[in-house]
Amino acid sequence: MTPDGLLDTPIQDAAGVAKWTDSIFNAGVPLHPGFHTGVLPGGGAQNPPGAAGQQPAGVHHYPMPVADIQLVKFDDFQLWLTDGEGNPAAVALVAQRGSGDASVHVLYATPGSQLARQSKRLKAPIPR
């Protein structure tokens, strides 16, 4: 398919939607549905998110910068964890890979969870 005329063509029917969806202007990399719309289990999930066979987190349910890390992280790094209440949370290492420091920074905590409240307090400006 050439891009000629596609940007100037109004989308008026299912065929137009299909042409746009499959065009270079919409998506350069085909995504597994889980990376697009996947929802991680919550409320006492049996397996932590990111475990073998676990559906990935989708960009329509989690912040895109965090969800995108799934596509570029090292295979042995577990981005998605389960917090103490059984909710999905995403973390990143604080120190350089291989440093021996396993400290993490919370990138995402399920809204309304204890971890989200705690994380928000930690990020609040220090009163002067």
The long-range contacts involving 89-92, CB below 8 angstroms and separated by at least 24 positions, are 89/113, 89/115, 90/57, 90/62, 90/66
**Residue 83, pLDDT score:** 93
What is d(CA 94, CA 13) in angstroms, rounded to the nearest whole number?
49
Mean pLDDT of the chain: 79
Domain ranges of the chain: 31-123
Q: Return the ∠ at Cα 62 (arms to 65 and 111), rounded to 5°.
A: 120
pTM for the whole structure: 0.63
Residue 47 has pLDDT above 50, yes or no: no
Query: Nearest Cα to 26, choosing from 42, 41, 44, 11?
Result: 11
Residue 115 has pLDDT above 90, yes or no: yes
